[in-house]
Every structure is written in C-alpha cells, then in structure tokens.
C-alpha cells in the first residue's frame, strides 16, 4: 500500500468537500441577499399603498414600535423610503427607522432617522448642503433643508440631543463602502423651512335626481 497515494486521495476528498461547502455557502448567501432585498421592496410597496389610501378623516392611532409614520424623500438623490417607529434590526432591514426618544415630524425638537448605508441611505453619500428633504405624514408634509454633514464616532450621542428648533438628523454608518462593522457614523443635519398641511377631505356633492 502506498501511503503517499492514500494521503493524496484524502487531501483530494477534503478539497472537493470544501469546494462543495463553499459553493453551498455562496448559493445560500446569494439567496438570502435576494430574499432581504425582495422583502424590503415588498414591505415598502405595501406600506406606501396603505399610507396613500388612508383617509385624512380617519382617527389617528398612537405611534408604536414598528408602525409606519410616513415617507421621506430627497428628490435630487432619488431617495424615497417609508420610515417606521423604532430602529430594531428587523425594522432597518425593511425601512428607515425613527429613533423613538426623538421628536416626531411637526413636533418641536430634533427628528432623528437612521438607515443602513448599503440600502435605503446609500444615496446619502452624495448629499450636499442646500438639498431639500420632505417628510410626508398624515398630518402634512414637512420640508427641510440640509445645513451640514459630519462624520462622528459611533458613541457620539450629541446628534440625538433635543433642539429648541424644528430640526432633522439622518444617521448612517460610514464609510459607505466599508466591509464589516463601520467605525464611524455619517450625520446629516437639516432645518425645517416649511410645512404643507394635509389635504382637506372633499365633500361629496349630492347626486342629481
């Protein structure tokens, strides 16, 4: 019996097994990535449809964890996404999250939204001073203008501080193309410059007889 041949055969079997394991892992990774993307798109479409179909006369429900608040839009960047109360991993996989301890659109203070740099907030890499941001809610459309951007450590909580004015803060990880847990946070600060009230319900005219 040739011991060298046996070792070579064993090595070949191990390499072949490793090849199939890595191939299976790659296929699984692609399938999971596809599922995450499809799930996010489906969730956004459903919530956007529900948001657009809600009557302005319907009773407002309390904002709870996981409930959709409205839609944010940055026209120049082509960014449009539903934002939801909370910032759990499940929420951020499907939408932009609203930090629960911060102001809601229309309230006095600092509205803070967060999103992943490799999904909804990827376009923020091209944001610049003066860009317009709109938060659309059932209480009206709130318009903001970008005043500044900054890169801060992940433990910098000053960005969450209350404000005496009506401001908006967007948070995502940085650098945008970093592989693995990002070492910094990219911050966008904006100031509210206007508000469009929610459209008033149109009374139905009586049918002619």
Instruction: Give the DSSP per-residue string, 188-206.
Output: EEEEEEEEEEPPPPPPPPP
Pick the CATH number of 68-197 from 3.40.50.1820, 2.40.260.10, 1.10.10.10, 1.10.357.10: 2.40.260.10
> In the predicted model, is pLDDT for residue 57 greater than 80?
no
> In the predicted model, is pLDDT for residue 27 greater than 60?
no
Helices assigned H by DSSP within the chain = 3-53, 89-94
CB of 172 within 8 A of CB of 115? yes
Selected residue with higher pLDDT from 1 and 52:
52
Mean pLDDT over 184-204 rounds to: 81
What mean pLDDT value characterizes the chain? 84
Condensed to tens digits (0 to 9), the pLDDT of residues 64-79 reads 999 999 999 999 999 9
**Which of these, 85, 51, 18, 72, lies nearest to 188 by C-alpha position?**
72
> In the predicted model, is pLDDT for residue 59 greater than 70?
no
Quickly tell me which residue has 């019996």 as its tokens: 1
Q: Where are the domains of the chain?
A: 1-54, 68-197
Selected residue with higher pLDDT from 37 and 141:
141
């Amino acid at each position: 019996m040739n011991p060298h041949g046996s070792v070579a055969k064993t090595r070949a079997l191990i390499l072949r097994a490793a090849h199939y394991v890595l191939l299976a892992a790659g296929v699984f990774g692609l399938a999971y990535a596809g599922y995450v993307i499809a799930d996010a798109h489906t969730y956004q479409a459903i919530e956007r449809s529900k948001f657009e179909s809600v009557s302005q006369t319907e009773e407002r429900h309390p904002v709870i964890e996981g409930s959709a608040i409205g839609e944010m839009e940055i026209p120049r960047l082509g960014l449009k996404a539903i934002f939801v109360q909370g910032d759990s991993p499940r929420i951020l996989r499907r939408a932009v999250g609203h930090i629960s301890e911060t102001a809601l659109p229309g309230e006095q203070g600092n509205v803070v939204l967060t999103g992943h740099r490799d999904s909804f907030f990827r376009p923020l890499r091209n944001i610049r001073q003066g860009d317009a941001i709109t938060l659309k809610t059932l209480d009206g459309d709130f318009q903001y203008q970008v005043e500044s951007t900054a890169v801060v450590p992940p433990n910098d909580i000053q960005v969450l501080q209350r404000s005496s004015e009506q401001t908006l803060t967007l948070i995502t990880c940085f650098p945008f193309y970093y592989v693995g847990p990002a070492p910094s946070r990219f911050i966008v600060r904006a100031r509210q410059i206007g508000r469009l009230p929610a459209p008033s319900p149109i009374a139905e005219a009586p049918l002619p007889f």
